[in-house]
Structure 1
Amino acid sequence: MTLSSKPLDIVILGLSLSSSWGNGHATTYRALIKGLKAEGHRVLFLERDVPWYAENRDLADPDFCELVHYQDLDGMLETHHDRLCAADAVMVGSYVPEGRDLIDRLAKLNLQRLCYYDIDTPVTLAMLDRGEHAYLSPQQIPLFTAYFSFSGGEVLTRLERQYGAQQALPLFCSVDPDLYHETGEPPLWDLGYLATYSPDRQPTLERLLIEPARRLPHLKFVVAGPQYPADIDWPRNVERIDHLPPREHCAFYNRQRFTLNVTRADMIAAGWSPSVRLFEAGACKTPIISDDWRGLDELLPDGEAILIARQSEDVITALTRMDDAARQSLGEAGQRIVLRSHTGLARARELARAIDELPTLNRQRQSERQQRSA
């Protein structure tokens, strides 16, 4: 791919940029758009004004893009009609309120490029398989000039062959290294985990953290995140933190000898679906232990930049037998890969190059006229 030939004007209609409360979209958009700004591109982010995010905004006025909150689709489309039609690309994100109606109405405008950014691809496909069309219907997928996906690998082929996507392209999550970096703080815990409770992740958490904690009572463990049931039998050496605000995540990673990554069932089934937690921990140079899924070893080589654990003994071995030099080498390798390939700037360059190579509405019309006259 060649570099983008000119600064791009991009309009994103996403779930939220202003509030990271209860969603992983905001931090993804922030890292990506900061990267776009650094590359000289212009972004307008249109966010539906909903009370649960309005009451929990931790970025009300970003300095890297224009952020506008709207009350309803009619008013938004009327106010921003000219900007939408002039933009080099209009990108709709997953889980946007009234997403299906929004997509249908945008498809009727003379947009240069209409794209989709699925930050929830495994969940989206699982919902479509069940006949649930909460924010996207299968009939809408062929409407997009490009379908950008949080998942890569076989998922992209499925989007094109089964659902008729014109082009399905990977656009993984990314990390902002200004927010996630090595701090030099001494380790407080031997193994930590950061995530909201999820029933499908809990058996793996039991196997890869709680059981090792029971068997290693002299070591310290921590689990941070809300909504864990009160009846979980936590070992005495597992510290619980109910809520950890994003501003404290960097320090949290830096104070662990190892951090644990556990993957949702839909993401495991899809494969090639890295969590932003992987890249955040990697940017902090924290050695990562993770459950296994297809594509992980391609992103972070097992034994070199990450440790893939399948059973409790794998975690116990890492915690008790890996010396500090080997542990630090693991963290350094993970950090190198993340800072080279998985920052917001790297992802912004991928997106800009991809958009620049996509056909525009005018080029599509010219091609159609040439085909008719041939």
Structure 2
Amino acid sequence: MKDKKLRIAFFGSSLVSAYWNGAATYYRGIVRAMSERGHKVTFYEPDAYDRQQNRDMEDPDWAKVVVYEATEAAVYECLEQAAEADMVVKASGVGVFDELLEREVLKLQTAERLVAFWDVDAPATLDRVHQNPDDPFHKLVPHYDMILTYGGGDPVVNAYEALGARQCVPIYNALDTATHYPVAPDPKFACDLAFLGNRLPDREARVEEFFLKAAALEPGKKFMIGGSGWGDKQMPGNVTYIGHVYTNDHNTFNCTPKAVLNISRESMARYGFSPATRVFEAAGAGACIITDYWEGIDFFFEPGQEILVARDGAEVAAILADLTAEKAKKIGDSAYAKVLSAHTYSHRAAQLEKLLYSHIKKSNAAWA
């Protein structure tokens, strides 16, 4: 059975552009690792939000990328092509025609063809559905063969099962060792603490608390923030805003500062067990990571040894005031060792493949 490889049709926001698309590196890691295991992925993404004008990679040789016009007719054309696949995935947050896709992919479901919803922002999706029982997605949940999420642990699994999900399994973020690794530092990113993240409504207040407040409390230290949307934000004088950071600069951005800050979005911190992709990317570069507190951190890294944890901006400032270059390097090295041993996309792809084969074996005897 395991010699038979899957053809997977994947509807997501974008594989080739990380512009206003925080899930890009997650998609890349999963898809590349599945390709390395012999599966064939076609990734369907809309030409929307200027992502194609801000690509940070060419079409890869480990996936077929289909960029379609942001029109209803183009969506249906892609759905027709997806009918050739063994598995169809609709990811959350494609950005255009999400409701249509979530409804229409289910029409491709057969005994031989698995249809899954892959939620790359489960806390936000669940909050939305809970706040609006008439949300069209609510009644679709029980019809998918499975719900995959990129985090959330038991709180997210339990919430999806309460909505009638047949099966909900987290496939956590991880490190893509082909793209994120230690490199030489670059003086343009030199600072005491760096943060990378787009300006989003349920992140901004936490950035103010964990990053900007820490900067105000440590005026003698240099802070740097990258990501889209922060240009008109009032910041202390010791903070440098560098705009969108393309993925080919992520390694130097992570390797150069004394420490790198992770700030969860409010909803992800509330559910817990939702480490952002950049946590694993920074660990893969050997960075010393300071993270805001969320339940489940110790499921991935050992606090105090492999990662530093702060509950507010004052604790971030206190950690920085005490952090020597030697201690930062020791923590970064420990995080690097942990991520290589347990949290690469090869680990995640092995988990996903086992899950899919198990499902197929149960539902389709011809694959057994």
Corresponding position of 1:98: 97
**8 Å Cα contact 1:113-1:360 kept in structure 2:** no
Alpha carbons of structure 1 residues 86 and 185: separation in structure 2 relative to 1, 3 Å? same
Q: 2:10 aligns with which of 12, 28, 31?
A: 12
| Residues 81-117 of structure 1: per-residue CA shift (max 9 Å, x gap) | 4x63453311111123322322332322353111111
Alpha carbons of structure 1 residues 115 and 303: separation in structure 2 relative to 1, 3 Å? same
**Aligned-residue CA RMSD (Å):** 2.7
| Residues 273-324 of structure 1: per-residue CA shift (max 9 Å, x gap) | 1111111111111011111111122211211211111134432332233444
**8 Å Cα contact 2:109-2:115 kept in structure 1:** no
Gaps of 5+ in 1: 366-374
- Return the alpha-carbon distance in structure 2 between the equivalents of residues 51 and 212 of structure 1: 33
Q: 1:232 aligns with which of 227, 231, 234?
A: 234
**8 Å Cα contact 1:146-1:166 kept in structure 2:** yes
Matches within 5 A, 1:1-374: 4-50=2-48, 52-71=50-69, 72=71, 74=73, 77=76, 81=80, 84-96=82-94, 97-111=96-110, 112-131=113-132, 137-151=137-151, 152-160=153-161, 162-185=162-185, 188-228=190-230, 230=232, 232-234=234-236, 236-359=237-360, 363=364
The AA in structure 2 aligned to 1:165 is A
| Residues 239-261 of structure 1: per-residue CA shift (max 9 Å, x gap) | 22123222212111111111111
**8 Å Cα contact 1:193-1:259 kept in structure 2:** yes
| Residues 96-151 of structure 1: per-residue CA shift (max 9 Å, x gap) | 332232233232235311111100101101111221877x6111111111100122
| Residues 7-30 of structure 1: per-residue CA shift (max 9 Å, x gap) | 222111112223221111222211
The farther-off stretch of 324-333 and 248-257 is: 324-333
Instruction: Give the structure-1-normalised TM-score.
Output: 0.87
> How far apart are 1:331 and its partner, in Å?
1.0
- Return the alpha-carbon distance in structure 2 between the equivalents of residues 190 and 314 of structure 1: 15
Alpha carbons of structure 1 residues 359 and 259: separation in structure 2 relative to 1, 3 Å? same
Task: Figure out how many residues of one structure are paired with residues of the other and give that number.
Answer: 360
The farther-off stretch of 104-113 and 140-149 is: 104-113
Identity %: 28
**8 Å Cα contact 2:145-2:167 kept in structure 1:** yes
Alpha carbons of structure 1 residues 169 and 229: separation in structure 2 relative to 1, 3 Å? same
| Residues 145-172 of structure 1: per-residue CA shift (max 9 Å, x gap) | 1100122222101211x21100000012
Alpha carbons of structure 1 residues 233 and 76: separation in structure 2 relative to 1, 3 Å? closer
The AA in structure 1 aligned to 2:141 is I
**8 Å Cα contact 1:191-1:222 kept in structure 2:** yes
- Return the alpha-carbon distance in structure 1 between the equivalents of residues 201 and 75 of structure 2: 38
The farther-off stretch of 66-75 and 283-292 is: 66-75
Instruction: Give the structure-2-normalised TM-score.
Output: 0.88
Q: Alignment partner of 1:124: what SS?
A: helix
Alpha carbons of structure 1 residues 325 and 6: separation in structure 2 relative to 1, 3 Å? farther
Gaps of 5+ in 2: none
The AA in structure 1 aligned to 2:179 is L
